[in-house]
Amino acid sequence: MWTRKAAIMFTSGISLILIGMMISNFQLMIVGLSFVSLLAINGWVSGHSELLVERETSATNVYKGDDIVVSLTITNKSYRRTQQLELFDNVPHEMKMRKGINQMRMNLGPGQTAKLRYVVRCPLRGHYTIGPVSIRYRNAFNLFVNETKLDDRSDITVFPQIRDIEEALLRSDVPKMYSGATTLKTPGPGMEFYALREYLPGDSFRSINWKALARTGEMMVNEKTRDAVTDVFVIVDTRDVSRIGTVLKNPLEMGTVAAASVSNYFLKRRDSVSLVTYGSRMDYLPPETGDKQYFKILSGLASVEAKGSMPLQAVTNALSPRMSRGSPVFIISSLEGDGTTLPAIRNLSGKGHEVIVLSPSSIDLERLVSRIPRMSYEVLKLERQNRLTAIAGYGAKVIDWMPDVELSQALLQIKLG
């Protein structure tokens, strides 16, 4: 493709030749001829982008705020020089360049290799793609440009940050409700001994209790307790209202961090954790335990977006048959713009669930981006306090989470409150 400079040079060249002809001036004509001649000769030199590009990333799954080291190896496999190339590795605009740069100007000889290294920070959770690699051949005199793309992509998932809340939960009332939750002690795969029972076909030989066999003469097997002592339900509000605030600080971002941290804590205790997100639709991840569930929860939280306006009661009604009796429920929501919050929580409490409501203060988050008159702020704050008090009245533990308060500090409010 011709650049603007080439077009101007060609037009000027032709114009000078024509004017030179009109007024019989050889100088104008020769200057015009040399312009056109420069274009014709430069047309002989063409670059190429038949390159072998290999991208390596230090990680494909990272937590919000982490850095990724990207290394790009570019090799010219052909027998020709590439000529002047500008290589640009497309990085999502949400990622911030920390070290190095994602572009390089190069002129690779036959078989030559160049390495491009840079570090990006991922300040926002989500699923991202690094790539493709854009290559622009530019003539040495900037007369011709040719752009191509090498479809080499690397997918990156940025999980929400995990906060250490162990100490906070130990000091607060939250964990004490579930310690030794014997009601849920059922046989299943696990470590602790549960009971002896008769051998049934299909039982593993490793589970046979040989001492009992010797003592009673009957084949007995050891049964273990299910490792997950509790099914913890984490419900995250991803409605459109949860985008109030800044890009980095809003109810949704705070909610994903809280959900990831709470899930991490309970999964480490070998509890089963279920994740429910609701916004434009409800996404339900059944309670499971282990690393696989941890990864599923983080992936689910990485992809949530603020949209929709599904009411909480619709979620609790749909979940109700799937929830084990007495299992604790974490509701992470700003509680804004939803008239069904109160009845939904009342129903959950009524069915014996321990309900903990972690509510990022959307009014204070809104203050980060827009100026709210003091009187209006006071009124809105009072309304919110009334709402939270009403929810607490139904037996739920309510945490009013201010934007500048750490999650662990906010969780301590359960005890302090």
Partner 1 sequence: MVSNEVPMSKSLNISQLRRRWQILLLQLISTASLIFLMQRMTRLYGTCSDSFVESYGDSLYWCPAYEHTRGLRWFEQETGSLVLPDFLTGLDQTGEMTVAAPLVLCFAITGTWIYALTREESTRKWINIGAAVIFFAWMLLPFLISWIMAMDHPLNHIDNLWGPLLFVFEIVFLGVVFAPVLAGIMGIWGLSRKFLTWTVGYYLTVIGVHAILTFEGITESVDLGLNPLPAQIGEATMMGGLVSPLALDLIEVAILLLLYLESGSAVISHMEYASLLPKDAKRDPDFVRQFDNVVNGHLVHLIGVMSLVALTTAIALEFDDFLISTVGALSGGQWSGQVKESLELQLTYGKVISAGLFLVVVAGMRFVLPWQRVTGIFETALLRFRSSET
Interface residues with partner 1 (CB under 8 A)? 17, 19-21, 23-31, 33-46, 69, 78-81, 83-84, 97, 99-101, 104-111, 114-117, 119, 140-142
- 326-354 exposure pattern, b = at least 16 Cβ within 10 A, e = fewer: bbbbbbbbbbbebebbbbbbbbbbeeebb
Q: Which is nearer to partner 1, 14 or 379 (by Cβ)?
A: 14
Q: Which is nearer to partner 1, 23 or 375 (by Cβ)?
A: 23
Q: Three-state secondary structure along 25-92? A: CHHHHHHHHHHHHHHHHHCCCCCCCCEEEEEEECCCEEECCCEEEEEEEEEECCCCCCCCEEEEECCC
Q: Which is nearer to partner 1, 77 or 325 (by Cβ)?
A: 77
- Quote the tokens at residue 303: 């992809």
Q: Which is nearer to partner 1, 42 or 146 (by Cβ)?
A: 42
- 162-180 exposure pattern, b = at least 16 Cβ within 10 A, e = fewer: bbebeebbeebbbbeebee
Taking the C-alpha atoms of residue 233 and residue 340, their distance in angstroms, rounded to an integer, is: 19
Decide if 47 contacts 85 (C-beta within 8 A): yes
Give least dist CB 54 to partner 1, A.
14
Q: Which is nearer to partner 1, 85 or 399 (by Cβ)?
A: 85
Q: Which is nearer to partner 1, 42 or 161 (by Cβ)?
A: 42
